[in-house]
Structure 1
């Protein structure tokens, strides 16, 4: 299926294609447009005013809206959603009051990575390609935290060894 969003993808519009590719439509093709120009009629629109799946607003980020629409309840995805939401709030100067310190920190990190990749790879397609590993790694991190929440130097290497042997998507 084709998916369309506005050009110059950043943060939420990078995390959302990752979510689409990994959990909704593994064959997704993304088209980047000027939202004031013509929209492809054969594509699902997202993260644009008037799009089928709306922009970030008081109802949440586009990532949040995708989770709800496709009934994705994986707690790992919900953790990532908190970080995306925190990053979007930071860009827009929104209230971060209900987000955990970990989510706020993650939001800062995602924002920094999104801007850095955007600067290094101005092509939206290349931006997405280079961002996929970040979100794959983030998914693996939270997957590991849910599976084995131990922390500290005494358990680090044992924990990593156990998680590596259980990780389902090794290459």
Structure 2
């Protein structure tokens, strides 16, 4: 049987946010991006005529290529990658089909600058517990899978951000300029990221409530908040190195997201039957 050369929007949507998600490359021309300056969750831009520049680092990975309508640019770019042995397919219907289906899109204006290798750099307070682990999980699963995180002394977050070109989040005190990714009122930084990244889906809304309940010691918000808080405090004690703690905690949030997604789907199915 021939290998598939296309993937449907529902198939890709099912994979986004999971550890098994393919690498998503947007090869739309500048005019199309200007007309709709948003990306699929986790996608990054690459000119179609330079797609082969990516081939060495895409070896052994699954790749989905996206253009405006799923036609010549994504079909050709995916075919070029397959010449390099990369398992590349095009998104059926392209960016336009995804948008018309009402699926989530991340505004380019919300994305921090990337370094020469296309990665974002973030900085927050050391010794994370809940919000400062949940936010990196969200970023790596839905915004930039290669994002890097600096955990530093609380009083140095803003200075490190300025000196190293990093984006601060969950910093104290909150910047008076209002540009931080931080708590606002009763809502956590995770809430802010879900909203500003255009990821306001039922599973992530449910996960945001759980995170908020755990982070603000409000177990009344969600039955799962107490369990997440206990796991978070335990991981903080188990790991003395913040990056090792983040790596270990990724599976916790992966599991919660899968559970929230299946719960949301089950509820949708019940409503459809009713």
Give the shorter-chain TM-score range.
Answer: 0.7 to 0.9
SS of structure 2 residue aligned to 1:40: helix
1:145 equivalent to 2:145? Answer no
Deviations 1:39-95 (A, max 9, x none): 1331111000235434334151000011121121121010000001111221xxx69
Where do 1:4-83 residues align within 5 Å? Answer: 4-37=123-156, 38-41=159-162, 42-48=165-171, 49-50=173-174, 52-83=179-210
- 1:63/1:75 CA distance change after superposition, 3 Å: same
By relative contact order (CA 8 Å, sep 6+), the higher-ranking structure is 1
TM-score (norm 1): 0.76
Mapped contact 2:219–2:225 kept (Cα < 8 A): no
* CA–CA separation in structure 1 for the residues paired with 2:124 and 2:203: 25
Q: Which has the higher strand share?
A: 2
Structure 1: gaps of 5 or more residues = 151-171
* CA–CA separation in structure 2 for the residues paired with 1:139 and 1:33: 28
SS of structure 2 residue aligned to 1:5: strand
- Runs of 4 or more off by more than 6 Å in structure 1? none
Task: Count residues in correspondence.
Answer: 141
Structure 2: gaps of 5 or more residues = 1-119, 269-274
Higher Cα radius of gyration: 2
* CA–CA separation in structure 1 for the residues paired with 2:206 and 2:190: 12
